[in-house]
């Protein structure tokens, strides 16, 4: 996949016989499938080398929004509603610095980027398992993936049981229950700390555990959709970003964006990831040493530590300057970007901030901060 992105196409077609059965190694076919093309270049019977550009294979057709926003189902509302908006933030843009925010809070189920993985992991599990399993889904979540999977369960006639950490806002219980899920509070701070327990419970009780922390469709959906649509949006705006800044939780979206942009733009785009400072808890993101899979597949340019108060202040600042309410992980991205600016690491140019979710779920944290700070 890296080679295809770097070269912008495929050098060796897939070798097939007259019945279109793949002969020999199917690596090229698998790479193209994961990148999301509509057509596959083939040669009959023997190896050949004919370069085919990705765009001729329908590489960008996954990102084809409905122009009048009319949909036949809420599933279409999700994936045909992409791209999520990319907007220039006027208050953060000045003196040669232009800041663009990708607003993942426009996804319809969890109002977050987690709709992408909830949908993709679920439909891929249905393709694989069919009707062979009980229609029950378990997951460890800090809210957003749970909301996305609760929506998938409701649409497909499943029941859902979600395990959430004790550190998460009380509103999460209510929201998940409204969506029809059973909620279990676990006396631990981080979701990753009890994933094994959820896995054991799912196996014991015959439920499906998609496991967002290990499921490679988490990475793949962002490679196939999120990163690709961001590139098209930036192309439309006439922008080549100097850097992209985002938060890491499971690390799926920022790892895929890093993989895509580092290869597509020959490593000229830098990527910085934001994590909570030591002993701090920020919903939706965590420290890299707490254990995450895909971040180790790529080379990011730096990690920025942010405190919980700094994340809240970042969210409040964009609400009071741009009029949009974003979540605490988005606030952390704002705080991290400002630290990079102040350190002199970033110069003039265009920068993309990935805002993972909407801020309505974090009223408790905002209320506590405002009552404490006045």
Burial class (CB in 10 A: 0-12, 13-18, 19+), 158: buried
pLDDT digits (tens, 9 = 90+) for 254-287: 999 999 999 999 999 999 999 999 999 999 999 9
Predicted confidence (pLDDT) at residue 180 exceeds the cutoff of 90 = yes
Per-residue confidence band for 26, with pLDDT thresholds at 50, 70 and 90: confident
116: region left, alpha or beta (phi > 0 left; psi from -120 to 50 alpha): alpha
Structure tokens at 281: 């808890």
Q: Is the pLDDT of residue 230 over 70?
A: yes
Residue 70 lies inside a defined structural domain of this protein: no
- What mean pLDDT is predicted for residues 18-30? 86
Of 171, 193, 209, the one marking the end of a domain is 209
Per DSSP, helices labelled H in 206-307 are 217-221, 227-236, 252-264
Length of the chain: 374
Q: Is residue 325 part of a domain?
A: yes
Classify residue 131 by its DSSP letter. Answer: T
Q: What is the pLDDT of residue 20?
A: 84
Same domain, 125 and 253: no
Burial status of residue 147 (CB atoms within 10 A of its CB: 0-12, 13-18, 19 or more): buried
128 within a domain of the structure (yes/no): yes
Say whether the peptide bond before residue 307 is cis (omega within 30 degrees of 0).
no
- 24 in a domain, yes or no? yes
Distance CA 310, CA 313 (A): 5
Domain check: are 95 and 145 in the same one?
Answer: no
Regarding whether 262 and 326 lie in a shared domain, the answer is: yes
What is the count of structural domains for the chain? Answer: 3
pLDDT tens by residue, 115-156: 999 999 999 999 988 766 679 999 999 999 999 999 999 999
Q: Which residue has the tokens 């057509």?
A: 39
**81 and 227 both lie in a single domain:** yes
Question: Residue 262 and residue 233: Cα distance in Å, rounded?
Answer: 17
The b/e string for 315-347 (b: 16+ C-beta within 10 A; e otherwise) is bbbbeeebebbbbbbbbbbbbbbbbbbeeeebe
In a domain, 342, yes or no: yes
| Same domain membership, residue 299 and residue 273 | yes
What is the DSSP annotation of 28-51?
A: HHHHHHHHT-S---EEESS-----
In 3-state terms the chain splits into helix, strand, coil percentages (rounded to 5) of: 45, 20, 35
Question: Which one, of 260, 302, 266, 308, lies nearest residue 283 by Cα?
Answer: 308
Backbone angles phi, psi at 153, to 5 degrees: -60, -45
Same domain, 264 and 163: no
Whether 303 maps to a domain, the answer reads yes
Asked whether residue 104 falls in the same domain as residue 129, the answer is: no
- 86 pLDDT band, cuts 50/70/90, is very high
What value does the mean pLDDT take over residues 76-91? 96
Reading the block at residue 373, the tokens are 């700070």
DSSP state of 360: G
DSSP code string of 162-207: EEEETTS-THHHHHHHHTT-EEEEES-SSGGGGHHHHHHHHHHHT-
Domain edge (last residue) among 209, 235, 261: 209
Per the listing, tokens 């992105």 go with 5
Report the half-sphere exposure of 219 (CA within 13 A, side-chain side): 19
- Residue range 6-11: mean pLDDT, rounded: 96
* Amino acid 352: pLDDT: 98
Q: Same domain, yes or no, for 224 and 280? A: yes
- Quote the DSSP letter at residue 84: P
Q: Is residue 47 domain-shared with residue 89, that is, in the same domain? A: no
Per-residue pLDDT, 174:
96
For residue 129, give the CATH number of its domain: 3.40.50.1100
Regarding whether 8 and 133 lie in a shared domain, the answer is no
Whether residues 346 and 237 share a domain: the answer is yes
For residues 290 and 192, the answer to whether their CB atoms sit within 8 Å is yes
Decide: 145 and 168 in contact? Cβ < 8 Å.
no
Confirm whether 63 is domain-assigned: no
Contact by Cβ (8 Å): 142, 327: no
Residues 85, 139 within the same domain = no
What is the model's pLDDT at position 133? 64
Average pLDDT over residues 204-210: 94
**Domain of 106, in residue numbers:** 75-112+217-373
Among 189, 209, 229, the domain-final residue is 209
- Residue 68 belongs to a domain: no
- Average pLDDT, integer, range 211-224: 98
Q: What pLDDT, in 10s, does the model give residues 296-344? A: 999 999 999 999 999 999 999 999 999 999 999 999 999 999 999 999 9
Helices (H) and strands (E) in the chain, counts: 13, 14
> Confidence band (pLDDT; 50, 70, 90) for 23?
confident
- Which tokens go with 65? 């929004």
């Amino acid at each position: 996949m890296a080679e295809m992105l770097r070269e912008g196409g495929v050098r060796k077609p897939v070798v097939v016989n007259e019945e279109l059965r793949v002969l020999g190694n199917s690596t090229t076919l698998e790479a193209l499938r994961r990148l999301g093309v509509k057509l596959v270049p083939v040669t009959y019977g023997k190896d050949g080398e004919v370069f085919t550009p990705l765009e001729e294979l329908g590489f960008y057709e996954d990102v084809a929004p409905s122009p009048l926003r009319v949909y036949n189902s809420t599933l279409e509302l999700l994936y045909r509603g992409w791209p999520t908006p990319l907007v220039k933030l006027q208050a953060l843009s000045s003196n040669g610095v232009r800041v663009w925010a990708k607003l993942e809070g426009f996804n319809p189920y969890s109002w977050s980027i987690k709709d992408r993985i909830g949908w993709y992991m679920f439909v891929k599990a249905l393709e694989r398992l069919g009707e062979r399993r009980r229609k029950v889904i378990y997951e460890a979540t800090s809210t957003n993936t749970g909301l996305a999977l609760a929506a998938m369960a409701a649409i497909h006639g499943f029941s859902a049981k979600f395990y959430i950490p004790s550190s998460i806002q009380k509103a999460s219980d209510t929201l998940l229950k409204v969506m029809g899920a059973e909620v279990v509070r676990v006396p631990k701070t981080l979701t990753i700390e009890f994933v094994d327990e959820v896995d054991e419970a799912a196996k014991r009780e015959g439920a499906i555990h998609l496991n967002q922390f290990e499921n490679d469709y988490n990475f793949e959906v962002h490679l196939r959709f999120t990163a690709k649509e961001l590139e098209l949006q930036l192309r439309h705006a006439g922008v080549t970003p100097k850097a992209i800044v985002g938060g890491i939780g499971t690390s799926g979206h920022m790892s895929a964006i890093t993989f895509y942009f580092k290869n597509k733009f020959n490593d000229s785009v830098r990527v910085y990831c934001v994590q909570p400072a030591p002993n701090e808890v920020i919903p939706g993101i965590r420290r890299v040493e707490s254990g995450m899979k895909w971040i180790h597949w790529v080379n990011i340019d730096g990690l920025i530590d942010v405190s919980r108060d700094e994340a809240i202040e970042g969210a409040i600042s964009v609400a009071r300057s741009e009029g949009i309410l974003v979540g605490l992980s988005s606030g952390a991205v704002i705080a991290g970007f400002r630290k990079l600016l102040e350190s002199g690491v970033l110069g003039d140019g265009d920068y993309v901030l990935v805002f993972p979710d909407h801020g309505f779920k974090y009223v408790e944290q905002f209320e506590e901060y405002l009552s404490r700070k006045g």
